[in-house]
Amino acid sequence: METLRMIVDIAKCVGCFNCLMACKDEHVGNAWLPYTDGQQKHAQKWIEPTRHERGRAPYTDLCYVTRLCRHCDDAPCEKAFPAAVRKRSDGVVLLDAEAARGNRELPAACPYGMISWNEALQTAQKCTLCAHLLDAGWREPRCVQACPLRALSIVKCEDAAFAEIAENQGLRALDDGPGKPRVLYKNLHRYTSLFIAGALTFMDGGIEKAAAGAKVRLSAGGVPLAEADADIFGEFKFDGIPRDTGAFRIDCALDGFKDLRAELSVGGESVCMEPLRFERA
């Protein structure tokens, strides 16, 4: 049977917040019962791009991680409150609007903080994946439709087909927690891992120039890990480095110059190296 899943591509999101605004437009002041009551204008966000920075100037790297209910297959919220949570055959997880009313314990049942409390209506609420629209024939919820970069997408397919998509696109869950999420992330390394960046130069007639095209090799414990060419600014970057991985070595080569070598250590932050300068051979 074909079911729904969402893919969030962190490399595409620019933090325009159109998804959040589309969600507000759809749900604030509108009660789509029996799917959900209306959303509060300010006190609730059923979808939210959150900003994440890595590195430091001049090697800063910014991404946005858009968070929403994962529509878990093995939902902790459903386990805690089976009478208030309904898992549909298409994969969508809904809170029962009547059972959620007055249930102040419901928000704590989501380990990811995706159930919020509507103080005005005294009810617990979350993303419905715009199930009222899907049931009316829409192919995607409002947030997905409103995303100008297609950073959000809906996939409807069999489990086996999605497993292949997940494998090919390197999709991962945002959190290590329970639940078997149906919202998976592409390019998650922009959020979970670190990078090593630096710049290479050489002197030419008293002017310091960028060593564009220099060969850069990354290794650890004598094992080669990756290679890169310095760009037009002489800069290089190795991404996807796990935290707290310890000692690395950078070897750099440029025709007509002596090889360069630098040792560095990776802890909890990305490494922004001081510029390295080639000396003539």
Binding site for ligand SF4 (CB under 6 A): 13-19, 49, 64, 66, 69-72, 75-77, 93, 110, 112, 114-115, 126, 146-147, 149, 151-152, 179
Q: If we measure between CA atoms, which residue out of 219, 225, 269 comes closest to residue 243?
A: 269
* Closer Cβ to ligand SF4, 23 or 218, answer by number: 23
Least distance in angstroms from the C-beta of 41 to ligand SF4: 18
Residue 275 is given by DSSP the state P
* Closer Cβ to ligand SF4, 85 or 214, answer by number: 85
Least distance in angstroms from the C-beta of 168 to ligand SF4: 21
Least distance in angstroms from the C-beta of 257 to ligand SF4: 43
CA 17 from centre of chain:
14
Starting at the earlier edge strand, list the strands of the sheet with 260-266.
223-229, 215-220, 246-253, 260-266
- List of residues 6+ apart from 190 with CB closer than 8 A: 10, 11, 52, 54, 61, 63, 239
Least distance in angstroms from the C-beta of 276 to ligand SF4: 36
* Closer Cβ to ligand SF4, 174 or 196, answer by number: 174
* Closer Cβ to ligand SF4, 181 or 234, answer by number: 181
Least distance in angstroms from the C-beta of 263 to ligand SF4: 38
Distances (CA, A) of 48 to 3, 58, 66, 279: 24, 28, 5, 50
Q: E-strand spans in the chain?
A: 3-9, 47-54, 61-68, 85-87, 93-95, 116-118, 123-125, 152-157, 183-186, 194-204, 207-210, 215-220, 223-229, 235-241, 246-253, 260-266, 271-272, 276-278
User: d(Cα 15, Cα 13) in Å, to the nearest integer?
Assistant: 6
Our CA angle for 261, 265, 269, nearest 5°, is 125
Least distance in angstroms from the C-beta of 173 to ligand SF4: 11
Least distance in angstroms from the C-beta of 70 to ligand SF4: 4
* Closer Cβ to ligand SF4, 18 or 36, answer by number: 18
* Closer Cβ to ligand SF4, 4 or 110, answer by number: 110
